[in-house]
Structure 1
Amino acid sequence: MLGPLEVRCGGRAVVLPPRRRSLLALLALRAGGVVTGEQLVDGLWGEDAPPTAMRTLHAHIAKLGAALAEPEGGRVIERRDPGYALAADAVRVDRDRFEDVVTGGLRDSASGRYAEAARGLGRGLALWRGEALSGCVVYGWAAAEAGYLDGLRLQAQEGLFAARLAAGLRDTTAAEIERLVAEHPLRERLWELLIVALQVSGRSGDAHSMYRRARRVLVDELGAEPGEGLRHVEAGVLRGVTDPRALLRLPPAASVAGMPALPQEMSTLVGRAGEIAATRAALDEARLVTLTGFGGCGKSRLALAAARAAEGVGEVAFADLATAAGEDGVVGVIAAALGAGVSPGAVDMTARAQGAEAASHGAVFERVVRRVSGDRVLLVLDNCEQFVGECARIVRELLTRCTQLKILATSQEPFRLPGEVVRQVPLLGMPHPALVRTAADLAGYDAVTLFAQRAGIGNIEDLSPADARAVAVICARCDGLPLAVELAAVRARLLGLAATARGLGNPYAVLVDGPRGARPQHRALRATVDWSFELLTEGERRALRRFSVLGGTFTLEAAAAVHGESAIIRTVSRLVDKSLLKAVHTPSGVRYQMLETVRGYAREQLAARPEEFAQARRDHAACYLRRAEEAERRLQGAGVAAVMAELAEHHEDFQAAVACLTGEDPESALRLAASLWRYHYLRGRYGEGRDWLRGALEAATAGVPGRVLAKAYWSAARLAALECDYPEADTFARKAMELSEAEDDERGVARAEELLGAVCRELGDYDQAIELGLRSLAAAERRGDSWAAGHTAQLLGFASWLSGDFAAAERRSGRAARLFNPVGDRERLAWCLLDLGAAAFYTGRTGEASRRLSQALLMFLEVRFKEGIAWAENLLALVDLSQGRPREALRRLATALRLHRELGDRWRQASVLEALARATVCLRDAMLAAELLGAAGRVREQITAPVPACERASHADTEALVRAMVDPQTWADARSHLDVEGLQHRIDGLLRAVTAGCGQGDRAQEFDFPAHGGGEVA
């Protein structure tokens, strides 16, 4: 690429037509990386791309791949969404070699190794044969890349001349540089090099003249005076300076520097390329950059990598303050690192003889200042957290007195000095275990890459699904912390993946036996956390212990509730500074997060103090009881989606609070579990809500107020009805009614009647359902409760269209919508639209039905309500079937069945199975249709619920069609079928078959729900 494009494959030259030559050049510019289709089109045609560009591109790709096919059959061009890539292991590109050599050469030059730099840069420049990509017509980003390569070539030429001059090599002539100056007359660095070449060769007069010529060119062409570099060279020439390093402001030669070499890494650094570049960029802008983060996150290795990548900063020194013998030894470690002629041991002797003050501020520190002042030095200070106060004082003085010094520090907390740039070292990216089904789901995560390398896993893609999930669990339980991941990899070599994943339930017992020679705090995870805790004050340790009862992320309010002491803002701020807490910015405000490894350790410390543990749990539970009761009111109005998102963030806290209160405060446990019923309803976690309520009800004592107990029974009955447990729903609803009557609670009685009506509706007793609903509606109207009146009217409309009374359904649902509009409750309004859409469908107005049901679907999606989404997709599928679109109907019904299965709503599963039978009949799969009808019948038998009245005619027609298409024995066998999960897989297979090539499929993914199990929003 560094000249006319030349291609060799298997030892032979490959001749390509112009367009394909340009296409290969575009791929080679990003060798090993993906180039999207849009980028390729832009690079080949620019702004004049024809309409057929993408199709033409695919044709060129196919032909280019054939031309470059390897004899062994390997692919040189790979298809990787969303584009294509040259296989990194199959292609060598001279551009990559050039960049590597130039980077090394410039690094050598910055370290004072000028002879090595000259050799390396010379080898790199020898790769060039002309202008980059000459003969390839490229546009846009690709043309800019070619320009970058030409610019890098020029930078390498400047670096080569500078290294030759600094090394005193005699093969550098002013004539060579002058030819480049003629080509690039506005490049000030070339003028500097030319003037220095003349000066060191004894042509001082010519050097003076050349500066005047350079100034004239810059003023005439740019209207600007020469920059600082040229002025510095001119001043040196006037003073008679002949040292090229001084004139060009280069660091001293390495042989003079006397600084120890940077520690060498024994293993590769994974996943930090972006952080290295960002740290290097920060050093360009600031003189003090501090890398912070929890112990074991990789601060030291990142600092070393960034220091090695530093170009043009001069000398680089490394001081590991973990070796300092107390604060008094810090300056000695720094002096030794800078080659200031003092060893740490000597400093300690000085400190004992003269006192710590003299050692810190006296001769040793002055020797360091003299060593650094005037030189360009990058000082890496590692492990500053144990002496952060002393380090901050020394750093401030050094930066004040040594104007060319830059410092890159690692510490669990920043120095908080003026001008300090603080960069938090992130944890390694890792997949969520719930979303990993195959090895392909592990791709692109740095924690996985690190684990695989250290565990000796050759190819991640070869892992079985079970092993892939185990790897995801391991990385998650390690929090993406590099140290923990590496320790887990050592264990996995001995125990295997599955056993290691199981053992990480107690990470402190598994993550031990780090590498020999490692620092003590890196030999085991517990040692790392011990190290961090030792750096805290007693007040900070106490706060962290109490924060361990908080799950997930938490607010300042929650922290204050469990801390029980003043100055919470200062305490939290200090823990964030010390990398024990992380501040997370969310739409609802700043929240705080603790690594699970830290939480587990802090919880152990808290559990060892029983009284403090009990009080922290009580304070935590009281805080989340208040939060839940306040949120319950906000779930009946506008902003439901925001409230649900807020509650979901606290899910672990609510769970812990219920568990705590159930054993210690039965009344509060009932209040908390009951206030969260609507949260569980909207989130689709009926079973979990029932479990919380069941435990609280079992622990209830005689002293619990009747109204509290009645609400708990009603909430449990509501969730039981949603899971089609009608006997328990009926029993609990009647208990709630009895308790409400005893308390003279008209609202409680009305709610219980409404719920009993809902049970009657699903069991097919529509008259009783409507009678109970009307009584509940009258009570709501007497109280003036518009939300309750709207809710009851909507349920009456629902029961009406299910019963076949569509006129009443429209009347009641319309009234409910009018009541909910001022309130702004999107979930309830969506139900009203769904009821009106159903009534329109069953009365033949399919256009109106489609419009209303689509509106309902969008609103359910807005609040992420799975039950509503499933209902809307179900009814829209019936519209599709009525209009002869069985494929579209199948797609919607497959989604509805999956969601209803996740919710545990067997009543609606039966109706969806029957609708699916209708769709599969239309698609001529009578066998599957018979099994679907059989499964639906068995579900109805189990829950004793008949086919809804409005669906009976369609059900009878479908059954008649299926019976006519299969033999009697097949029909009889189908009646015993109840493997709904197996049917779901067969439906998915049919769906893939009938939608192949038309871009459609199960739409569960469109709603951000996982395709299988769990019931969680992704």
Structure 2
Amino acid sequence: MGGSATLWAEHAVGREEDHGAGDRPGAWAINVLGPMEAWRAGRAVVLPPRRRGLLALLALRAGGLVTAGQLVDGLWGEDAPPTAVRTLHAHIAKLGAALAESGGGRLIRRRDPGYVLDAGAVAVDRDRFEDLARSGLRHCAEGRYAEAVRSFGGGLALWRGRALSDCPVRDWAALEADYLEELRLQAYEGLFAARLATGAHDTVAGEIERLVAEHPLRERLWELLIVALQVSGRSGDALGRYRQARRTLVDELGVEPGEGLRHVEAGVLQGIAEPRRLLRLVPAAAPGAAGPLTLPQEISTLVGREADIERTRHLLDASRLVTLTGPGGCGKTRLAIAAARAAAGFAEVAFADLAAVHDEDGIADTIAAATLTHARPGARVLDQVAGRISCDRLLIVMDNCEHLAGACARIARELLTRCPQLKILATSQEALRLPGEAVHAVSGLGVPVPERVRTAADLAGHDAVVLLAERAGIGEIGALSPEDARAAAAICARCDGLPLAIELAAARARLLTLPEIARRLRDPYTILADGPGGSRPQHRALRATVEWSFHLLTAEERSALTRFSILGGAFTLETAAAVHPDAPILGTLSRLVDKSLLKALRTPSGTRYQLLETIRGYALEQLAARPAEHAWARRAHAAHYLRCAEEVESGLQGPGLGALMAEVAEHHEDLRAAMTWLIGDDPESALRLAAALWRYHYLRGRYGEGRDWLRAALAAAPPGTSPRVLAGAHWSAARLASLECDYREAEALARAAMELYEGEGDGPGVARSQALLGAICRELGDYRQAIGLSRRSLAAAERRGDTWAVGHTLQMLGFACWLSGDFAGAARFSGRAAELFGPIGDRERLAWCRLDLGAAALYTGRTETASRHLTQALQAFLEVRFKEGVAWAENLLALVDLGHGRRREALRRLATSLRLHHELGDRWRQAGVLDALARTVALLGDGGFAAELLGAAGHIRAAIATPVPSCERPAHAETEKLVRAMVGSAAYEEAYALGPHLDIEDVRRRIAAPLGPVPSGAR
């Protein structure tokens, strides 16, 4: 619809000639409705693309705080580099300087944790457009259609193309542009309707036709087109367009036309030519003109609440007061209406919507209207209600009691006492706390775990997905692609299974794909912005629903909730106390649970508490608006997680490893948040945290993430940082670098750590560094140096009596020995290590000893012994979910299978090992697995593919400068000889040269083809 805006220039009113700057001399104008423009005093300010985009982001929220994180997301999205925040600050400084050069003072101000564009000095065309669009809607509602035409036309004349069309913005800002485009379409629809209502239908049909062609799934545009044709005397064309609209909707969305289109069709068939009747354009009713409330008629189906309806019915059979509790947006009202319809034994059902009521008198008046009680002047309303219903078998639904819970409780108590046949079904975010009250907590709909969804079949049985599919017009859930299935699961999880949030997300399916909605749901208040037109004020948007709940809290409860918002996942009582030490924490948590703003989760390790993501996002925004408190809470949060990380570091090499790893993993997002904060606030503590977590990243297979944390912390370390802290960080970074086969960096970091330890006289640190340098030498094939360094480290550990360090160094010696071909030495060293680790209870290191013993047995022909040791190692590695160990064990067990002629079993194991090593980024071991795969494939008869696999392994080793391990050289030479004999030297060289171009998925596909599905291995 790029050129359509010019159609309405003649309707524009009040458009300023100085590019939106208004009549303030020298004022700034920033225009985002098209290519981004910045003007001052009638002169354009030219900016490079990134700074132009940055200014656009600030202009979208002029006058409001835009956090640094939001600016990073808006500029880079998910592709943000590690230096994004630092780069952002540099761009801000340069942008501020460029704007200052144009005069007018300082437009951008720092306000932790972000920046604010001075709204008093800037006119943004987006704001003018929204004001005019709102005026147009108001004029239409009041029946003043000529004024509506001028307002809508004036707003549309501000557009110069697609919003932010030349700005490289991402994430929420791209969504904001989509939102503006949606408002633009709504303004066109309002303008067309108003023009038809004024009788100006001579040219409007052709103009609508152009927009229908661009947006064929917007039913309102079809309605307007059909009406324009009808009032122009073209009834046949109007009916033809209805049939075309229906066919388009059925073919594209699988849905029949909605009520509006059906109403227009009926009007055409009846020969109605009055546009206001066809479009049902009537002035809004005056406040208070509506009749008494009755049980509302639902216009959409209720999904996934059958068990809740039945439960509520049973409670109503047994109790006179039943309260449905739950967070805003969970569907309490819909459930109450459905349960009231299903309830048996009532002569009447009355529905009292208390959302807009402000006091006890208002409650009484609303109930009187719902029960058709005609109150007499001068008499107490509640007395008249009680007299009216006295002994009737009546059910009153009191909806939305939370903001007047005490008053609702008093009125409910009085009515129940005076009316023996009366029952009340209340909805509230907290119970009314009356004697005999039955409470049913309404939770979100069932949600799949996104990480476990691989295909549409994994969505089965989850009501949240059913609701999303129905509201988004998805015909068959089972037909979704894997990408869409994963996106649907992510959307439902991000919406916490709340029906309101899911319906708002589904409404975006007209504009966005499911993956696009899922990506943009990181800022739910942007995408979940517009509720159903007929819904009540607190239900019109997710943000309004959360605000409704938030403002019902006491000041102390609001403070607690905002501080809890910085906690990323489920948290303990101790964690809550760390960020909110100002009040008795148990009582505060209890009240927030009672008010449905916090979930209490029972876990094997004790009670955990968790905020719904929808509530957490709003609370975090409130905290960010108070910079001092936000900074204090972040520091307390980071300090707490630093203490926790340093306390568990040693525990990750002892008994209970699996449970401890799972517990640390639960807090991964909080650890990440603490790390991000500390890098900017306390770099030395950031170094401590990153170093304390190196073993966690190692065991979880997150080598790259651990390195990123350490790299960022080391870069931020100021002069005067403790040498011991620096040494620990260098050593940890070296260890993770070696695991990713970045040997040059690993060696440099390890030597830097050793120098720092030597400077501090830290013998254990020096010994650890020597052992690490030995491990690096081992993978580079320098076994003499590796064993020599490990022996020196062993001697130091034995001198100080450190049993674990002795065992660890013995195991590393055993590892180096069997790789070098010294299988007797491997059995001796790793056997001694196993004797030490058994009493200590370090299952991960004990499993490594088993693996070393298995390898020594394998290479000396004792395959039964090898199989026993390796199977024990694999089981232990699986139990602690240690990817590297699983990958190694599968690799060596495949060689056992190969020795027994079980080639297909070997192939499956090697496929699993290759996948896991690839996920870890361990290229050194990938090369060894590719060699073994080549041998297996050759034995299965595919010499060409075997040569390609050997070429891939050779390419990896050349890239990381490592040789074939000594123990594998005989098999490698034999495989090469076998393959050459199979295909001939020329064909071998040709296929070998293709090896570097193989990718992991291609290898796995070609392996899987003759075997069927390749098992996934460790999860």
TM-score scaled by length of structure 1:
0.69
Structure 1 match to 2:703: 686
| 2:838 maps to amino acid | N
1:325 shift after superposition: 4.2
What one-letter code is carried by the residue in structure 2 that aligns with 1:488?
A
Deviations 1:811-862 (A, max 9, x none): 1111111111111111111111111111111111111111111111111111
Q: 1:342: Cα distance to partner? A: 3.8
Structure 1 residue 1003 corresponds to structure 2 residue 1015: yes
Candidates 944, 950, 961, aligned match of 1:933: 950
Residue 369 (structure 2) aligns with: 336
Question: Could you tell me which of 343, 351, 358 is aligned with 1:310?
Answer: 343
Query: Per-residue deviation at 1:578?
Result: 1.4
Q: Distance in 1 between matches of 2:985 and 2:673?
A: 55
In 1, the alpha carbon distance for the partners of 2:922 and 2:579 equals 39
* 1:773 alignment partner, one of 790, 803, 817: 790
Aligned to 1:487, which of 486, 504, 512? 504
Does 2:779 match 1:762? yes
Q: Deviations over 1:152-176 (max 9, x none)?
A: xxxxxxxxxxxxxxxxxxxxxxxxx
Residue in structure 2 matched with residue 816 of structure 1 by the alignment: 833
Equivalences for 1:126-525 in 2 at 5 Å?
Answer: 261-312=294-345, 315-339=348-372, 341-342=373-374, 359=380, 364-370=381-387, 374-525=391-542
**777-786 or 464-473, larger mean C-alpha shift:** 464-473
Structure 2 SS opposite 1:1003: coil
Q: 2:879 aligns with which of 842, 850, 862?
A: 862
AA of the residue aligned to 1:1003: P
1:462, 1:834 → 2: CA distance? 45
Which of 591, 598, 609 is equivalent to 1:592?
609
The residue correspondences of 1:823-838 to structure 2 (distance < 5 A) are: 823-838=840-855
Decide whether aligned partners of structure 1 residues 987 and 888 sit closer, same or farther in structure 2, where only a CA change above 3 A counts.
same
Deviations 1:889-909 (A, max 9, x none): 111111111111111111111
Consecutive unaligned residues of structure 2, counting only runs of 5 or more, are 1-290
Whole-Å separation in 2 of the counterparts to 1:729 and 1:982: 26
Alpha-carbon spacing, 1:332–1:915, altered in 2? closer, same or farther (3 Å): same
Deviation by residue 1:925-951 (Cα, 9 ceiling, x = unmatched)? 222211111111111111111111111
2:294–2:370 Cα contact (<8 Å) kept: no
In the TM superposition, 1:533-682 aligns within 5 A as 533-682=550-699
Moved more, 495-504 or 390-399: 495-504
Shift of 1:601: 1.3
Distance between the aligned counterparts of 1:314 and 1:868, measured in 2? Answer: 69
SS at structure 2 position matched to 1:584: strand
Structure 1 Cα separation of the partners of residues 318 and 830 of structure 2: 64
Aligned equivalents of 2:541 and 2:306: distance in 1? 27
Rounded to whole Å, the distance in 2 between the matches of 1:387 and 1:790 is: 66
Distance (Å, rounded) in 2 between the aligned partners of 1:976 and 1:740:
46
In the alignment, the residues of structure 1 paired with residue 623 and residue 956 of structure 2 have an alpha-carbon distance, to the nearest angstrom, of 49
Which residue in the other structure is 1:34 paired with? none
State the shift of 1:694 in Å: 0.5
Contact 2:294-2:350 at 8 Å conserved across structures = yes
Deviation at 1:371, TM superposition (A): 5.0
SS of the equivalent of 1:635 reads helix
TM-aligned CA deviation for residue 921 of structure 1: 1.6
Match of 1:879 in 2: 896
Tell me if the contact between 2:504 and 2:529 (Cα under 8 Å) persists in the aligned partners: yes
Unaligned runs of 5+ in 1: 1-257, 1010-1018
Structure 1: how far apart are the matches of 2:665 and 2:742?
26
Match of 2:139 in 1: none
CA distance in 2, matches of 1:709, 1:287: 67
Letter in 1 for 2:462: Y
Cα offset, 1:498, TM superposition: 4.7
**How far is the alpha carbon of 1:370 from its aligned partner?**
4.7
- Is the Cα–Cα contact under 8 Å of residues 951 and 996 in structure 2 kept in the other structure? no
SS in 1 for 2:1010: helix
Q: What SS does the aligned partner of 1:553 have?
A: coil
Shift of 1:301: 0.5
1:110 aligned partner: none
Q: 1:770 to 1:301 in 2, by over 3 A?
A: same
Residue of structure 2 in register with 1:529 after alignment = 546
Of 968, 977, 983, which residue of structure 2 is paired with 1:960? 977
Amino acid at match of 1:308: R
Residue 505 (structure 1) shift: 3.4
Question: Structure 1's 827 and 313: CA in aligned 2 closer, same or farther, altered over 3 A?
Answer: farther
How many angstroms apart in 1 are the aligned matches of 2:388 and 2:497? 41
Q: Matched residues in 2 for 1:430 and 1:408: separation?
A: 27
Aligned mates of 1:867, 1:776 — CA distance in 2: 24
- Structure 1: how far apart are the matches of 2:776 and 2:1009? 37
Distance 1:838 1:496, change over 3 A: closer
1:440 and 1:461 in contact (8 A); partners too: yes
Provide Cα deviations, 1:860-918, integer angstroms capped at 9, x if missing partner.
11111111111111111111000010111111111111111111111111111111112
Distance 1:431 1:885 in 2: 39
Give the % identical residues. Answer: 67
Q: How does 1:917-996 map to 2 (within 5 A)?
A: 917-978=934-995, 982-994=999-1011, 996=1012
1:284 positional shift:
3.6
Measured after TM superposition, the shift of residue 314 of structure 1 is 5.8
Of 436-445 and 754-763, deviating more is: 436-445
> CA deviation digits over 1:592-641, x for unaligned, max 9?
11122222211211111111111111111001000100111211210011
| C-alpha distance 876-410 of structure 1, shift in aligned 2 (>3 A) | same
Q: Say if 2:915 and 2:1000, in contact at 8 Å, map to a contact too.
A: no
Question: What is the CA distance between 1:431 and its match in structure 2?
Answer: 3.5
Counterpart CA distance in 2 for 1:947 and 1:420 is: 75
SS state at 1:318 partner: strand
| 2:963 aligned counterpart, secondary structure | coil
Whole-Å Cα distance in 1 between the matches of residues 360 and 366 of structure 2? 10
Partner of 1:158 in structure 2? none
What's the TM-score once normalised by structure 2's chain length? 0.69
Distance 1:455 1:983 in 2: 36
Shift of 1:367: 4.2
CA distance in 1, matches of 2:1000, 2:356: 66
For 1:529 and 1:260, locate their aligned partners in 2 and report how far apart those are by CA, in whole Å. 26
The answer on whether the counterparts of 1:933 and 1:974 sit within 8 Å (CA) in structure 2 is no
- Taking the aligned partners of 1:284 and 1:661, their CA distance within structure 2 comes to 57
Kindly tell me: are residues 824 and 397 of structure 1, through their superposed partners in 2, closer, same or farther at Cα, counting changes over 3 Å?
A: farther
- Cα deviation, 1:79-115, whole Å, max 9, x if unaligned, reads xxxxxxxxxxxxxxxxxxxxxxxxxxxxxxxxxxxxx
CA shift in 2, pair 1:766/1:896, >3 Å = same
Change (3 A) 1:481 1:761: same
Maintained 8 Å contact 2:565/2:617: yes
Q: Which runs of 4+ in 1 moved over 6 A?
A: none
Map residues 906-921 of structure 1 onto 2, 5 A cutoff.
906-921=923-938
Aligned length: 729
Cα distance, 1:563 vs structure 2: 1.5
Deviation of 1:322 after TM superposition, in Å, equals 1.7
TM-aligned CA deviation for residue 464 of structure 1: 4.1
Q: 1: distance between equivalents of 2:865 and 2:521?
A: 56
* Equivalent position of 1:250 in the other structure: none
Letter in 2 for 1:779: A
- Whose radius of gyration is greater, 1 or 2? 1
Checking the alignment, whether the CA contact within 8 Å between 1:894 and 1:984 is kept in structure 2 is: no
